[in-house]
Chain A
Amino acid sequence: MSVLSAARAAAPLNGTVPSLRRVARTTPGVVVLVALAVVVCCAVAAAVCVADLNHRIAEHNTVLQRSEPFAYAAQNLYAALSEADAAAASAFLSGGIQTAAMRERYQQAVAAAAAALTDVTAGATDEDLRTAVADIAAQLATYTGLVEAARANNLQGFPVGSAYLREASALMQNELLPGAEQILARDLAAVDAGQRSVGSVSTVSIVLLSLLLIGTAVGSWILARRTNRQFNLGLMVAAVCVLVAITWIVVATRLAAADIERSRSEGTARIEQLAKARILAQRARTDETLQLIGRGDITAGEQSFQAHIDELLAQLDAGPPAAVSGIQRWTASHQKHVQAYLDGDYPAAVSQAIGSDPGASAAQFGIVEAGLRDEVEKTRAALREHVSTAGRALAWSPVGTLVLLALAGVATVLGLWPRLKEFL
C-alpha cells in the first residue's frame, strides 16, 4: 500500500523540471521565481550573518568571563609561587630578627598560591591542563614540607637546614614555576584566540550579502525586461536594506577589530611582558637570598642574578618608571651586600639584603614588585575595557541585520505582489 502511494507521489515529481521551465516561460512564473529566490536568499543570509555575529558576541563574553580571568589567575599563581620562594628564603635567613613578619609573608604567599590554583582549576577543562594543575598541587605540598624541614633544622642550628631550603628552591625553580609558566602561556593563548575571533573579518557574511545584492539587481533587470517597468520599488527597498546591512556589519566588525587590536597590543602582549618581568624580579631576589643561605662561592649566583636583572630591564623598556628606578637602586644595594659578603662581613651582607633600611635591597625590591603588580592591574583593566567596547560595537548588529533582511524579504514580496496580481 505504501509502495503504491510513493509511486503516485513520484509522478508529479518526475514532471517538476519541465513544469519549472514552463513556469519560467510565463511572466507571472518569472515574478514568482524572482520573489522566491530573493526571499530565500534573504533568509539564508540572515541566518548565516546572525550566527556569525552572535558567535563573535559569545566569544567576547567568553574572553571577559572565562579566558581572561583564568589567565589572570594563572599569572597570580606564578607570581604567588615565586613570592613564596623568595619569602621562604628571606624568612630562613632572618633567623632571629623579623622572623614573624617574614614568615607571615611566606604564609600569605602560599595561601595566595593555593587560591590562585583553585581559580586556575576552574578553567582547566582538558585532561592535559588538569594534569598540569594536579602536578602543581602535589609539588606545592612537597615544597612546603621541605621549607618546614629547613626551618626545623635551622632552629637547632644545623647547617643542613640550608641544604633543605636549597632543595625546596630547586623544586620551585625547576618544576613548579615551569609548570605554572606553561599554564599561563596556554591561558594567554586562549585569550588571544578569543580576541582574534571577535575581531576577524566576516568574509562569508559579506560575500553572501553581496550575492544577495547582485541577486536583487539581476531580479530587477529580468523583471524590467518582462514587465516593461523601469524599477520595482520593492526590490529597490530590498537592495537598500541589504546595502545598509552590509555597511552595518562592516563598520561594526571594523570598530570591534580596532578595539580588539588595542586590547591585544596594549593588553595581552603587555600583560605577558609584565608577568615575565614580575617573575624575573622574584627570581633575582631568590638568587640574592640563596647566595647568603648557601654561604659558599657566589660566582654562579651572581651570574644568575645579573642575567635575571638584565632580562628584567629589557622587558621593562616601556616602563613603569617607578619599577625601573627601583631596580637601579636595588642593584646598587645588591653591590654593597656582595662587597660586604666578599669582605667576610656576613652580618652586614645579610642586613643589606633583608634588613628594614629603606635604602636596602628588601625595600627596593618591594618597590619594584609593587610597581609591576600595579601595572599588571592597570593593563588588565585596559584589556577588559577594550574587549568590552568591542562587544558594545557588535551588540545590536545581529538584531539589526535580522530586521534589515526581514524588511528586504517583505519589501520584495510587497513590491512584486502587484505585478503578480496583474495576471490573476
Chain B
Amino acid sequence: MPAPFQIADFWSLAPEGLLTVWGLLVLVLDFGLLRRLEGPLRRNILGTFCLVGGLLTIALLLFTADFAERPTPLDEIVARDSITWWFNGLTALLLTLVVVLSMSNPFTEHWGEYYALLLWAAVGMMVLIAAQELVLLFLALEMMTICLYLLTAFVKKRRRSAEGGLKYFVYGSVSSALFLFGLSLIYGLTGTTRIEAMRSVLMEVAPTSGLSGNLAGAIAVLLMLVGFGFKVAAVPFHQWAPDAYEGAPSPITAFISTGSKVASFIALLRLMVHGLAPWAHREGSLVGPGWVGLTALLAAASMTYGNFAALAQTNLKRLLAYSSIAHAGYLLVGVLAASVSVDQGYKSAGAVLFYLMIYAASNLGAFALATWLARDRGDEDVEGLDGLGYRSPLLAVCVVLLLLSLVGVPPLAGFFGKLSMFMESLNTGKTGRLTLLWLVALALANSVLSAFYYTRILKAMFLRPPPARPLGPPNVAIGLPIVACTLVLVVLSLRPSLLVEPMTRAAGPLIGMPAAEGLDDLETTLSRAP
C-alpha cells in the first residue's frame, strides 16, 4: 500500500503541531533552566513563553489562511475549511488570554505542568474543531477533557478544586464511554467512520424518513446526545458544571466554559447537523422520530433550568456556570433550526457560529472578573464586587458591557447574536414552525429572566459601598483580558456584519449546501423582521 499522504499535506495541522511542541518546550524549560527560581518569577517567564507560543499560532494561522490549494487526502480526516480556520483562531486567542489571566494569581507551584496541559488542551480543541472522522473526533474530545480534568484539580490548597475535578472526571468518563458506544453503533450501521461518507450512506438509504423504524440508530443518537450534552453542559447532563466551575482555578474555568464549549459545538454541528442530517427528523414534522425532537427538549430544559438556578446563586462562578448552561440551551435552538431547513439552514448555522464567537468573548471577560475576586479575596462571592464601579471605573464599565452583551441588550453584539439566531430559527420554513416558535418564545422569556441575575452583579458594582475587604487594584494580567474582550465586543457591536458574513459563508458546506452568492447581511435580516 503506498503512503497515502505527502509530508506537505500535514501543513494544515501546523498550528496544532506548534502548540504540542511548545508544551514540551515549556516542560523542558521549567525543569531545566528555571528550576531554582521562585514561584512568581518562574510563572511569569513561563507565561510569557506560552504567550509567545499562542501569538505564533495566531500568526501561523494568518499565514495558512489559503484554503484554495489543491485538495489533499488528509482533508477527509482533518478539515481545512474556513470554519476550522476561524475557530482555530478563536481557540488560539482564548488560549492566549487564558495564559495571560493565569499570570495574575499564585494558585499552584507546578507552572510547567500547568502551562503544558493548558497548551495541550488547546491542541485537543483545535483537532476537535477540525475532525472529520470519528476515531480522531473521539480522541480529540478525550484529549481536551482529560487536560481539563487535570487542570480543574490543580489547586492543592482548596479541597473544592479536587472535589470539582473528581466530579468532572467521573461524569466525564461515563459520558465519554456512552458516547463511544454510540459512535460504534453508528460505525456498525453505516460502515464508515468518516462523517462525509456517513452522510452520503444515510442519504442513500433513508433520506426523508428520519429515525422511524430504526431502533439501533435511535439508540446510537441517544448515546451520542448524552456525550455532547455533557460536553456542552446541557440539562440533564449539567450536574458537573457548577462544581467543576467553582472548584477549578478561574482561568481554567474560563477555558472550560468558552474553549471547550465552542469546540464541542463545532463537533456537534459537524457530526449531527452534517453527518446525521438524514436522521434529523421525518419529513414534514419536527417532533417525530429523529434527533431534532430530543434536542428541542434538551434546549428547552437547559434554558429554563439554567436561568432559574442562576437566580439563586451568590457565588459569581456558580452564577456564570448556570448562565452558561442557559446559553448552551439557546445555542441548541440554533443548532436544531440549522438542521430543520435545507435551503435556509446555513444561515441558522452561521448565526450559531456567530453567537459562539460572541459568547466566548463575553464569557472570558466575565471569568476574568472572577479571577480578580479569587486573587484578592480567595472566594468568588458577588458581594466582593461591592463598590467596584468607584474604585476602578474603566474595568467596571467594561464588565457592564460584557454582562449586558450576555443578556442581549440591544446595541451590543450579544443582541445581534441572539437576534440573528432566533430570527433565522423563525425563518426556516414550514417544517416544525410551531415548535420553533415555542422554543424561541421560551428563549426570549429566559433572556428577560437572565437580566435579573446579571443586574445583581451590576448593582453590587455601582450601588453598594465597598466592603471591608475590597478588591485591590487590578494588574495587567486581569485588566488585559477584560479590556481585550470588551474591545472585540464593541467592534462587533458597531459592525456585526464583519463577522456575520464570514460565519454564514463558512456554515454553507456544513449544511451540505454551498452558500449562495450575494448573502444577505444582517441589515437585510433586520428589514425582514415581522
Q: Do A and B come from one complex?
A: no
Q: B interface vs A, CB < 8 Å?
A: none
Q: A interface vs B, CB < 8 Å?
A: none
